[in-house]
A and B are shown apart, each in its own frame.
Chain A
Amino acid sequence: MKQRSGTYRVWHRWLSLVLGVQMVIWAISGAYMVIVQLPFIHGVHLTQESDQKLPVNPGAASLAEVTEKFPHTTEAELVNRLVNGEYRLLWQLRTHFGDRLVDANTLEPVVLGKSDIRALAESYYAFKEEARITNIELLTTEAPSELNPAHLPIWRIDFDDFGRTALYLDQTTGEMKVRRHDFWRGFDIMWMLHIMDYKDRVDITTWWLRIFIFGTFGFIFTGIVLLIQTLFSSRRKLR
């Protein structure tokens, strides 16, 4: 006898078939990302600092010697790093030709082997007593989807633990560049679903994402109309 809500109901139903399903996906992925704390996702709890404090009197080669031998250096870092079973003072250099790791005194190159990487990975890993490494592998040409290929070449070290932790250590310097575990991998999938970029998981400007977002405005509108109509019609009147 009053206004008809049929048209809006029909629209709401049909829109829900397309937009509502994505809304459910947004709600599920959003809830995951919101509920699971971000530092945990980043795996902050999984690792610790591996380098030790510098000795009080480093006695390193002077910077002048460094830049003389490696003139393309843009940044030089003095670190005390675990190599070959002991902590050694090293110059870690950022140069125009990539990173270099050299002995702080002799400026001789230091090359990290697989056993060094294993020792460093165990040293980074926060639960040392339970560190069970299942796989160490040097990735040179192909990166798994959880790793930005710009990091290549890089060592991948897999741990047998609850979240199947993987640490990625720089081939040259042994620095830990990336941490991954299953909750991060879950987050990554949720992020993919949330931004609807199913390929690279970075693009937030795809035309289909835009269509869904702007379609959602219409979907919400039909919902509001229905809500107003039912609220004002089924309200109990006081006698």
Chain B
Amino acid sequence: MKFLQWLHRWTSLIILLQVFLWTLSAAWFTIMDHDGMKAHQYMAHGDHSMLNTTDMVDLNQFEHHFTDASLVRVQLVDGIPQVVVRYGEDEYEYLHGLTGLPWQTGEAMATRLAQASYSGPGDVKRITAIEETWELHGWKGSAWKVEFGDDLNTRVYVDENSGTVIDHRNTPWVISDWAFRLHFIDYTGGRNFNNLVIITAAVVTLWFALSGLILLIKLLGSGEMRWSWRKVPMRTQAGDSEVNLVTPKHRTILQTLQSNELPIGSGCGGGGTCGLCKVRVEDESLPVTDAESELLSQEELAQGIRLACRHKTPTKGKVVLQDNAARYELELTSSRFITPLMKELKFSVVTDEHPEFKAGQYVQFLIPEAVSRARPDDIPEPYHGVWESIAEVEFEHSEVRRNYSMAVRPGAEELVFNVRYQPTADGAKVPGVGSTYLFNLKPGDNVVVEGPFGEFVRTDNEQHVQCFIGGGAGMAPLRSLIQEELESESPRKIEFFYGARSKQELCYADEFEELAEQGKLLFTPVLSEATSHCDWDGPKGFVHQTVENYLKDVDVLSRDYYVCGPPAMLAETLKLLKSMGVPDSQIRFDDFGN
């Protein structure tokens, strides 16, 4: 699809001008019609006088001319019988029927012939003898050009050798002739539309048009262009307020909610794969789709919970939003690198109301359609090496929605997020759209978010140790959860295992080490790629291995576990906890931290 778009674009660049010229000349043709293009506006019908053979030389006297002749024709020209002898298929000799001598068309006769072929309002203005003219392509010989004083500047060409009216010409004809040159790409005036240039252009255009058609069909197939004029109401309940939305019938519940700026979680943009756009629909007849039986629990389905992206606007019943979410406008106050590929973004809330969220929840950033630079301009000196391989390009992207967890406790003055730069993945053309856009934000820039969403929140098991296990950008929700726990009236015991590749990637290490020194928590950073020349005396390897060793000597079941990090780390850790017999109710995880 991307390749086809690219090809469509570049072909268009090559063929654009000609397509325009084709359209332009076609516009002229459709306005002028056939007659106008031929300069036949003032052409009179042919002369049909009866042959007058009086005084005519007996045909047998022309005998010597008939050798090799295939046809002899006798016709009237200017009232005089003319003998036309054809040799082969298209060679002609013209003879005077009264004298037997070669035909001659004089000025006076040419004028009479021109007038006889003319039905317009003008009079003869000028007569010129000519030997050649570009207005008669392919004609050779001597001719009279008889010009008439009319609105179209008509001129009539009369062949001297035969007395034939070769053709009429006028001003619209000249324009038409140029239109033909443009349309046939034949600038010789020969109107040959089988030339090599136009064949090439035709093949390129054919490919261009077909690539457009394929793109269109794919687009139609993707459902992006569905349309219906019919609008239907959709009763929607958000929190305590109920609104009646009016929406085109073809839209999904998710599209309707999003276009009405009603906040709803979504990670995959309506693809039915993330399971986040949960709503409760008060319509028992609503079927359960495959995606829903896979992503929603039996209890949820029984309660009427459905995925908003899987259903078109319901005809009856009410749609109840599950989260107390809203739309907020944020303004960036600071943006700094905390690891070579991760930034900490701080925002103040522009909207009057401050979002009320629980630690561990996320908001959805509405990344607008924009042109973004793959490489921001504020990369600190020490990280230049890491960024060297990332090409300095600009690329265009469409609107997307991206989820980021708050990296700060609820109630804090500013909202903090950790954004990890997503480099161009294998097979992709451009780096991650959301992260690139956010990396380029400057203090003072505004962005719109919706939320909060998510169930990655603290448990209420009072006696349990709170064990946080994370890696990479999984830091964000864990930091928020830990801060909230420490702020609570009687904080539970906290253990925090955090994995990174190198010391450089160990974000917020100072902050947690200070908390550890104050005895507020146990902090265990783990490095997977610690090198010998790096002064690291902490645990090495993957974080789940360290956790495994640690859990061997403690009571595994008296803990609540919070896991968030890169997919591999998350999977390994969950596997470990399961193998140790930790019940699901004591494990919470979030796989949107990366």
Q: Which residues of the partner chain B approach A152 to less than 8 Å between Cβ atoms?
A: none
Q: Is B555 an interface residue (CB 8 A)?
A: no
Q: Is B284 an interface residue (CB 8 A)?
A: no
- A31–B206 contact, CB under 8 A? yes
Q: Which residues of the partner chain A approach B53 to less than 8 Å between Cβ atoms?
A: 62-64, 66-67
Give complex CA distance A151, B371 in Å.
Answer: 65
- B396–A230 contact, CB under 8 A? yes
* Contact count A vs B, C-beta below 8 Å: 190
Measured CB to CB, the nearest residue on chain A to B220 is: A17
- A56–B66 contact, CB under 8 A? yes
Q: Which residues of the partner chain A approach B366 to less than 8 Å between Cβ atoms?
A: none
- A233–B209 contact, CB under 8 A? no
Q: Which residues of the partner chain A approach B63 to less than 8 Å between Cβ atoms?
A: 56-58
A1-B370, A204-B33, A213-B27 given as contacts; is B193 within 8 A of A227 (CB)? no
A27-B210, A34-B194, A63-B59 given as contacts; is B72 within 8 A of A77 (CB)? yes
- A77–B395 contact, CB under 8 A? no
- A205–B30 contact, CB under 8 A? yes
- Contacts A2-B370, A33-B193, A205-B31 known; list 16 others, CB within 8 Å: A1-B368, A1-B372, A4-B369, A28-B206, A38-B192, A54-B71, A62-B58, A67-B50, A74-B49, A74-B75, A79-B70, A204-B30, A214-B27, A231-B13, A233-B396, A235-B394
- A217–B23 contact, CB under 8 A? yes
Q: Which residues of the partner chain B approach A199 to less than 8 Å between Cβ atoms?
A: none
Q: Which residues of the partner chain B approach A223 to less than 8 Å between Cβ atoms?
A: 12, 16
Q: Which residues of the partner chain A approach B52 to less than 8 Å between Cβ atoms?
A: 67
A74: contacting residue among B29, B50, B209, CB under 8 A: B50
Measured CB to CB, the nearest residue on chain A to B20 is: A220
Q: Is B140 an interface residue (CB 8 A)?
A: no
Q: How far is the CB of A3 from the nearest CB of chain B, in Å?
A: 8
Measured CB to CB, the nearest residue on chain B to A74 is: B48
Give complex CA distance A217, B206 in Å.
Answer: 18
Measured CB to CB, the nearest residue on chain B to A24 is: B209
Q: Which residues of the partner chain B approach A37 to less than 8 Å between Cβ atoms?
A: 194
Interface residues on B, range: 35 or more
Interface residues on A, range: 35 or more
- By Cβ-Cβ distance, the 8 closest A-B pairs, closest first, are A27-B209, A78-B72, A31-B202, A233-B371, A1-B370, A24-B209, A34-B202, A63-B53
Q: Which residues of the partner chain A approach B20 to less than 8 Å between Cβ atoms?
A: 220
Q: Is A73 an interface residue (CB 8 A)?
A: yes
Give complex CA distance A220, B22 in Å.
Answer: 12
Give complex CA distance A26, B202 in Å.
Answer: 10
Measured CB to CB, the nearest residue on chain A to B88 is: A49
- A220–B394 contact, CB under 8 A? no
Give complex CA distance A144, B496 in Å.
Answer: 89
Give complex CA distance A36, B413 in Å.
Answer: 75
Give complex CA distance A209, B27 in Å.
Answer: 9
Contact with B along A9-35 (1 / 0, CB 8 A): 000011011001101101110110111
Q: Which residues of the partner chain A approach B58 to less than 8 Å between Cβ atoms?
A: 62
Interface positions, chain B 487-542, Cβ under 8 Å from A, are none
Q: Which residues of the partner chain A approach B392 to less than 8 Å between Cβ atoms?
A: 237, 239
- B13–A78 contact, CB under 8 A? no
Q: Which residues of the partner chain A approach B9 to less than 8 Å between Cβ atoms?
A: 227, 230-231
Q: Is A85 an interface residue (CB 8 A)?
A: no
Q: How far is the CB of A59 from the nearest CB of chain B, in Å?
A: 7
B23: contacting residue among A20, A34, A71, A220, CB under 8 A: A220
- A27–B13 contact, CB under 8 A? no
- B16–A53 contact, CB under 8 A? no
- B74–A213 contact, CB under 8 A? no
- B371–A1 contact, CB under 8 A? yes
Q: Which residues of the partner chain A approach B394 to less than 8 Å between Cβ atoms?
A: 233-235, 237
Q: How far is the CB of B457 from the nearest CB of chain A, in Å?
A: 34
Q: Is A76 an interface residue (CB 8 A)?
A: yes
Give complex CA distance A72, B51 in Å.
Answer: 8
Interface of B with A (CB < 8 Å)?
Answer: 9, 12-13, 16, 19-20, 23, 26-27, 29-31, 33-34, 48-53, 56, 58-60, 63, 66-76, 81, 89, 192-194, 198-199, 202-203, 205-206, 208-210, 212-213, 216, 219, 225, 368-372, 391-396, 398, 437, 440
20 pairs of residues in contact across A and B, judged by CB atoms under 8 Å? A24-B212, A34-B199, A38-B193, A49-B70, A53-B69, A56-B67, A57-B63, A58-B63, A58-B66, A63-B74, A64-B53, A67-B53, A74-B50, A74-B75, A78-B59, A213-B23, A223-B12, A229-B396, A234-B394, A239-B392
Q: Which residues of the partner chain B approach A63 to less than 8 Å between Cβ atoms?
A: 51, 53, 56, 59, 74, 81
Interface positions, chain A 72-95, Cβ under 8 Å from B, are 72-80
Most A CB contacts (10 A, CB to CB) among B16, B53, B193, B208 go to: B53
Q: Which residues of the partner chain B approach A1 to less than 8 Å between Cβ atoms?
A: 368, 370-372, 437, 440
Measured CB to CB, the nearest residue on chain A to B34 is: A204
- A58–B59 contact, CB under 8 A? yes
Give complex CA distance A216, B20 in Å.
Answer: 9
Measured CB to CB, the nearest residue on chain A to B69 is: A54
Measured CB to CB, the nearest residue on chain A to B215 is: A16
- B48–A96 contact, CB under 8 A? yes
A24-B213, A223-B16 given as contacts; is B60 within 8 A of A59 (CB)? yes
Give complex CA distance A79, B66 in Å.
Answer: 11
Q: Which residues of the partner chain B approach A239 to less than 8 Å between Cβ atoms?
A: 392
Q: Which residues of the partner chain A approach B372 to less than 8 Å between Cβ atoms?
A: 1
- B216–A17 contact, CB under 8 A? yes
Q: How far is the CB of A148 from the nearest CB of chain B, in Å?
A: 14
Q: Is A6 an interface residue (CB 8 A)?
A: yes
Give complex CA distance A57, B58 in Å.
Answer: 13
Q: How far is the CB of A26 from the nearest CB of chain B, in Å?
A: 8
Contact with B along A206-239 (1 / 0, CB 8 A): 0001100110110010011001011101111101
- A236–B393 contact, CB under 8 A? yes
Give complex CA distance A37, B68 in Å.
Answer: 31
Give complex CA distance A2, B70 in Å.
Answer: 76
Q: Which residues of the partner chain A approach B89 to less than 8 Å between Cβ atoms?
A: 49
